[in-house]
Homo-oligomer: A and B are copies of this chain.
Amino acid sequence: MKQNIIVGQSGGPTAVINSSLCGVVAEGLKQKNIGHVYGMINGIEGFLQGHFMDMRPLLGSGELELIRTTPGSYLGSCRYKLPEDLAAPIYAELFRRFQQLDIGFFFYIGGNDSMDTVSKLSRYAAQHDNPICFIGVPKTIDNDLVLTDHTPGFGSAARYVASTVREIAIDAAVYDNKKSVTIVEIMGRHAGWLTAASMLARKFPEDNPRLIYLPEAAFDQEDFLSKVTNHLKDIPNLVVCISEGIQDKNGTFICEYTSKAGTDTFGHKMLTGSGKYLENIIRDKIGVKVRSVELNVCQRCSSAMLSATDLAEAFSSGAFAVQTALTGNTGKMITFCRSSDDPYLITFGTADVNQICNQEKKVPQEWLCAGGSNLTEDFITYARPLIQGNVSVPMEDGLPKFAYRS
């Protein structure tokens, strides 16, 4: 008897999370033992309210191909934490719904929190001798999942960050007869992988961004101001990249210093980022022209800087998830194993999802240098292969054409 697949997307979107979805759907529909592939609308949360769709009609219509290069989560997302107590009634309810749909295989595309969902569901299944296989497909621009070389979504976000910082540095340099500082704030609350990617923008070692600060190193404001002053002695236009999550040696986020300081019209704290805070400090203490740029959500939703490598790997990891589930694997996340940097060689594997969920992989301390204001070439060797290749996104009336769930 044929069994069905259900797949969902969870957590923050990326530029290639839909490519992973397409990998699951295309591979699932290829398998002769699979009947339907269902998509959960808004992840586990929407599914609990009965929201799902049949994915097969997307295959013949060319829609699946369009979904592959569409950023964001085609199926919608959620941030929903299942209870720790596996005896909570919600589990029985979920499995009742799985049974109704003859689900044999469950795929969840997401980051740490989504792997927590896979962990809990697979443990519940094991406790109840339920044969459904639960597999996690990694996704996060933060690149902070353990036991995998990297995660889909990071390569495209890194390519966006590197090319955008290179462009911002050019923009900042047009008044090269006047000193200036440009601070670029990049996503990453606890892990600095994406901020580190700004290093790829350099064309030579002393090029901008001269200073790069990650949450992995304690941020010292006095040392920062002294470094900025020194660099301004030999280049007119300094570009500094910082993670949104930089923090001082006491673990206080730098952006928290702003919210302590400012209040708005309603007496509420003014919530601005670390970049804005450092902009104000530099204006006050050094007195040069200064600007801060927050790359914001564009980092995770830009289709213009899709990495062909990332897009293809996302698709393949989704397809591999189906293959490995059909061999009976459950409670696993798909992992990327690198055997060589140049030529870049990757194979897929699996790891116990319980060892991945709720963990964070940081940038190694030995890759940090210059008192935490720069990185070694190890990072370039690691990251360069992940940003390779252009993707030709379909265009319509001069703009990228995307797929939408109707």
Q: How many whole Å from A39's CB to the nearest CB in chain B?
A: 13
Say yes or no for A150: interface residue by CB 8 A criterion.
no
Contact partners of A72 in chain B: CB under 8 A: 167, 170-171, 173-174
Say yes or no for A357: interface residue by CB 8 A criterion.
no
Interface residues on A, range: 35 or more
A210-247 to B contact mask, C-beta < 8 Å, 1/0: 00000000000000000000000000000000000000
**Also in contact, A159 and B398, with CB within 8 A (given A171-B72, A174-B73):** yes
Contact status B265-A261, CB under 8 Å: yes
Residue ID in chain B nearest A404 by CB atoms: B203
Say yes or no for A367: interface residue by CB 8 A criterion.
no
A284 to B71, CA, bound (A): 31
A203 to B148, CA, bound (A): 39
Say yes or no for A176: interface residue by CB 8 A criterion.
yes
Contact partners of A272 in chain B: CB under 8 A: 270, 272, 276
Q: List 27 A-B contacts (CB under 8 A).
A: A13-B174, A71-B167, A72-B167, A72-B171, A76-B175, A76-B176, A77-B174, A78-B175, A159-B398, A163-B304, A163-B400, A166-B400, A167-B302, A167-B400, A170-B301, A171-B300, A171-B301, A261-B270, A262-B262, A262-B263, A265-B280, A270-B270, A272-B272, A293-B294, A384-B397, A384-B398, A387-B398
16 further A-B pairs in the complex, CB-CB below 8 A; given A13-B170, A76-B175: A13-B171, A42-B177, A45-B177, A71-B171, A159-B398, A163-B303, A163-B399, A167-B302, A167-B400, A171-B297, A172-B297, A262-B263, A270-B276, A272-B272, A293-B297, A389-B398
